[in-house]
Amino acid sequence: MIGNLFAEPVDPDIILQDTAREHQDHEIRAMASLTLGMGLDDAYFAVQELIQAARLIILCPNEGKTVLSNILSDNWCDYQRCIYFCVAGRGQGKMIKMLETFAHILEARGRADKFLREQGVKRRKLKDPYHQFLSANLNCNISFSAGSKI
């Protein structure tokens, strides 16, 4: 058991932190930065869903565009919108390749976390970076008087 080797909980985002600093593609670095704190499964499956939609656009353009627009228009998918806009406009093939590369990084993150859990290593809890904005925007009633300046 390697669980006794670590004095403090291990950060599951260490792989993403390294990727955000050192990956050769700036799009991958941006996606890694956006994913810090996201749940392991949530991030992985959100990226996989974008990959499937992008592939569908190549095979069935009308259906694929409908699926992608449904993903991007969902009010609860800020993370997926952010990831998509990191790679949008790069061409379909390059976009899919970058998303797949990032999905492999997320898979490695999940496998590393599973291994550490099985070895009894304490892991630091993730804090969802998007939750604070979501809960803050639910009851947002802002009004300005006619003379106020922003």
| Signed CA dihedral, 110, 79, 132, 32: sign only | positive
Number of domains, the chain: 1
Give residue-wise pLDDT tens across range 57-105.
999 999 999 999 999 998 767 889 999 999 999 899 999 999 999 999 9
Residue-number span of the structural domain to which 36 is assigned: 8-138
70 within domain boundaries: yes
Question: Is the residue at 3 inside a domain?
Answer: no
Residue 145 resides in a domain: no
Which whole-number Å values give the CA distances from 39 to 7, 9, 131, in the listed order? 23, 17, 11
Please state the pTM of the whole predicted model.
0.80
In a domain, 27, yes or no: yes
Inside any domain, residue 127: yes
Does any domain span residue 1? no
123 φ/ψ angles, rounded to the nearest 5 degrees: -115, 145
